[in-house]
Chain A
Amino acid sequence: MERHVLVIFPHPDDEAFGVAGTILSHTQNGTPVTYVCLTLGEMGRNMGRPLIANRETLPDIRKKELEEACRLLGIEDLRRFGMRDKTIEFTDSELLINRMKEVIDDVDPSLIITFYPGYAVHPDHDATAAAVIQAVQRMTPETRPTVHALAFSEGCEDILGEPDIIHDVSAHADQKMKVIEAHESQTAGVLQTMKQRFMENDETMKERMNTERFWTYPIDNKNE
């Protein structure tokens, strides 16, 4: 059992699809989970179906969705960094690494869950994860938390190999669907199809809902 889990992602809903079941397994175990969410996904293209948002109202709507998702996940400690969607890779890296380091020092997690830098498709994902890894790298080896990283770029398994952490989260599938549903402005368009495919026992969709896969990030010791 983990002491404290720290989840770090750039966008509300990044925690929904590939991680919600894992988060639920921790919170239902009584393990505290802190979620650092860097932006409010201000630049999202999905505006709800029917349209419920515009470019200026989207952040407030997504903030409420994020808070509801956290409630459903049993996350009591949500920390928003107040950054803007799409800008993470252009921000001052040292400042970002330091902010990550401060949170890690404060939370003292035994496990961090984030993206796998370089294999997470969206530039915000890669830049967020890179800052997390840098912050962990700078810790003395015996104080470092384990990092479970999420990769999904095309062909990532050819390079990284199979993920070493495979969680069966089927016990949490219903609640996970509610978390996905909570991000209504972003997921309304795909939700119907997802639900239907899940109900019809579509293998790919069942696998996606019931199994969450991570790579333990190899923290590099050569800089010591």
Chain B
Amino acid sequence: MKPIDQKLVQQTIDELAGKELYVHLETTNGAYATHKNQGFFSVGTFLRNARIKYVQGKITGPGPYRIGLELEGGWAYAEGLTDWEVDDQNQVLFAGHDPDGKLAIAFQLSEKPFRK
């Protein structure tokens, strides 16, 4: 992946608007967070291959970035995004890596389903 280029990302968001997409959205603090620090309140979520279609969307922030997509009947939102890549399957991958390089959030869009 490479650091987010806000202008290129905005172009990509515009191109995907109105299309039927598969989404992977995930946040994680790691399964060992509470093991390493008993007081830590561990949360995480992931949703993979849900289908969405958005009307319009934006990338904002000074970096790390936020992306918000306005759906026909709701919203999709992610913050803490640092890196991105359009892979050889044309899947658009956004990720937020913490200072140690660990993935903390992933937000991904694809016209084809992601591997189960």
Do A and B assemble together? yes
Q: Which residues of A, 35-86, contact B by the 8 Å Cβ criterion?
A: 43-51, 54-57, 59, 84, 86
B interface footprint on A120-136 (CB within 8 Å = 1, 0 otherwise): 01111000000000000
The answer for the CA separation of A45 and B30 in the assembled complex, in Å, is: 7
Instruction: Assess whether A154 is interfacial by the CB under 8 Å rule.
Output: yes
Residues of A within 8 A of B38 (CB): 154
Assess the A47–B114 pair: CB atoms within 8 A: no
A55-B31 contact, Cβ under 8 Å, with A47-B97, A154-B38:
no
Q: Chain A contact residues: over half helix, strand or loop, or mixed?
A: loop
Instruction: Assess whether B24 is interfacial by the CB under 8 Å rule.
Output: yes
Contact of B35 among A46, A48, A154 (CB under 8 A): A154
Residues of B within 8 A of A43 (CB): 26, 28, 46
Across the interface, name the chain A residue whose C-beta is closest to B1. A54
Assess the A51–B101 pair: CB atoms within 8 A: yes
Residues of A within 8 A of B21 (CB): none
Assess the A47–B115 pair: CB atoms within 8 A: no
Assess the B83–A121 pair: CB atoms within 8 A: no
A interface footprint on B94-116 (CB within 8 Å = 1, 0 otherwise): 01010011111010100000111
The answer for the CA separation of A55 and B102 in the assembled complex, in Å, is: 11
Across the interface, name the chain B residue whose C-beta is closest to A123. B31
Across the interface, name the chain A residue whose C-beta is closest to B87. A56
Residues of B within 8 A of A57 (CB): 87
Assess the A189–B108 pair: CB atoms within 8 A: no
Assess the A51–B97 pair: CB atoms within 8 A: yes
The answer for the CA separation of A47 and B98 in the assembled complex, in Å, is: 11
A interface footprint on B40-77 (CB within 8 Å = 1, 0 otherwise): 00000010000000000000000000000000000000
Instruction: Assess whether B17 is interfacial by the CB under 8 Å rule.
Output: no
Contact of B93 among A49, A56, A189 (CB under 8 A): A56
Assess the A121–B93 pair: CB atoms within 8 A: no
Instruction: Assess whether A153 is interfacial by the CB under 8 Å rule.
Output: yes
Closest CB in chain B relative to A194 CB, distance in Å: 15
A54-B97 contact, Cβ under 8 Å, with A43-B46, A45-B102, A121-B32:
no
The answer for the CA separation of A49 and B99 in the assembled complex, in Å, is: 11
Residues of A within 8 A of B83 (CB): 51
Residues of B within 8 A of A56 (CB): 87, 89, 91, 93, 108, 114-115
Assess the B93–A46 pair: CB atoms within 8 A: no
Residues of A within 8 A of B26 (CB): 43, 55
Assess the A54–B100 pair: CB atoms within 8 A: no
Residues of A within 8 A of B102 (CB): 45-47
The answer for the CA separation of A59 and B103 in the assembled complex, in Å, is: 15
Residues of A within 8 A of B89 (CB): 56
Contact of A54 among B30, B93, B116 (CB under 8 A): B93
Assess the A122–B31 pair: CB atoms within 8 A: yes
* 20 A-B contact pairs sorted by A residue (CB < 8 Å): A43-B46, A45-B102, A45-B104, A46-B101, A47-B95, A49-B101, A50-B101, A51-B1, A54-B85, A55-B24, A55-B95, A55-B108, A56-B87, A56-B108, A56-B115, A86-B31, A86-B46, A121-B31, A122-B32, A189-B101
List B residues at the A interface (Cβ < 8 Å): 1, 24, 26, 28, 30-32, 35, 38, 46, 83, 85, 87, 89, 91, 93, 95, 97, 100-104, 106, 108, 114-116
